[in-house]
Amino acid sequence: MVQPRNKSQAPRDYESGWRLLLWYLGRYNPTTHRLEQYLIRKGCQPDEARQLVDKAVGLGLLDDQRFACNMIQSQLSHYGQRRISNKLISLGLTREVVQQAWESIDQQLIDPQVNLTRLLEKFLVRHHLSSSRELESKLRAKLYRQLIQAGYSYDQIKTLLAHDSSNQA
């Protein structure tokens, strides 16, 4: 009887580790840290996993800077800078790479007031209100919590509500 192949079996050599890396890159868009951890989990030695990842980076198959820029652009309409940065760091990117990615993003995309205004309008519609002046203290607190959780600072939210109230007057 034929024994089924153990899926967690370690790659026997550098070539099989490379094939595993290429398969993973074809399926996912990982950071260098995540890819290295995957290879180690699949049985590669840490130094061999590092060599494989370095080879992929050298060939341009893997780029943490590009990964960070893409994630920032895709998440920016939903979340604030702080939340996106924390997520990138939790994925294994260094603070320097994250900072460089923020610097390379078009500054017009980063304007938090545009996103905050959109989120405020969405909140007001959801709660059947016409302006932020109609917010009761409970709803105002809920709005603050939601926006802070989305990664915006208290001062940004306060400025937005003051600006919105003055526009409604």
4 part of a folded domain: no
47 part of a folded domain: yes
* Interval 104-142: pLDDT, tens: 887 766 777 888 888 888 888 888 887 777 778 888 899
* Interval 31-66: pLDDT, tens: 999 999 999 999 899 999 999 999 999 999 999 999
Instruction: For the chain, give the secondary structure using H, E and C.
Output: CCCCCCCCCCCCCHHHHHHHHHHHHHHCCCCHHHHHHHHHHCCCCHHHHHHHHHHHHHCCCCCHHHHHHHHHHHHCCCCCHHHHHHHHHHCCCCHHHHHHHHHHCCHHHHCHHHHHHHHHHHHHHHCCCCCHHHCCHHHHHHHHHHHHHCCCCHHHHHHHHHHHHHHHC
162 and 139 in a single domain? The answer is yes
118 part of a folded domain: yes
1 part of a folded domain: no
- Give the domain extent around 83: 64-107
Inter-residue contact 117 to 132 (CB < 8 Å): no
pTM for this predicted structure: 0.72
How many domains, the chain? 3
54 and 71 in a single domain? The answer is no
95 and 139 in a single domain? The answer is no
2 part of a folded domain: no
54 part of a folded domain: yes
6 part of a folded domain: no
